[in-house]
Amino acid sequence: MWTFRLLAAALAAAIGAAASAQTFGPPISGLCLLSRSGAIAASRAGQSMQAQLRQMQGALSGQLAQQRAAIDAQRRRLQSQQGSTAPIEYQRRQAALDQQAQVLEQQQNARFIAAQARGQQQIDGALNQALASVVTRQACSVVLERDGAYGWNNAMDITGAVTREMDGILGTVSLQ
Q: Is residue 99 scored above 90 in pLDDT?
A: yes
Mean pLDDT across the stretch 25-51?
95
Find the mean pLDDT for residues 91-112: 92
> For 17, what's the count of Cα atoms within 13 Å in the CB-facing half-sphere?
6
Q: What pLDDT is stored for residue 85 in this prediction?
A: 85
Note the pLDDT of residue 6.
37
Chain-centre distance for alpha carbon 65: 23
Query: Mean pLDDT over residues 92-101, rounded?
Result: 92
The domain limits of the chain are 29-169
From the centroid of its chain, how far is CA 74? 36
* pLDDT at residue 16, as a whole number: 43
Q: Is 97 exposed, middle or buried (0-12, 13-18, 19+ CB in 10 A)?
A: middle
Q: What is the rounded CA–CA span in Å between residue 129 and residue 162?
A: 9
Has this prediction a pTM greater than 0.85?
no
Out of 16-25, 52-61, 85-94, least confident range? 16-25
- Place 8 in a pLDDT band, splitting at 50, 70 and 90: very low
CATH number of 29-169: 3.30.910
Long-range contacts from 48-54, C-beta under 8 angstroms, 24+ separation: 48/171, 48/172, 48/173, 49/116, 49/119, 49/120, 49/122, 49/123, 49/173, 49/175, 52/115, 52/119, 52/173, 52/175, 53/112, 53/115, 53/116, 53/119, 53/175
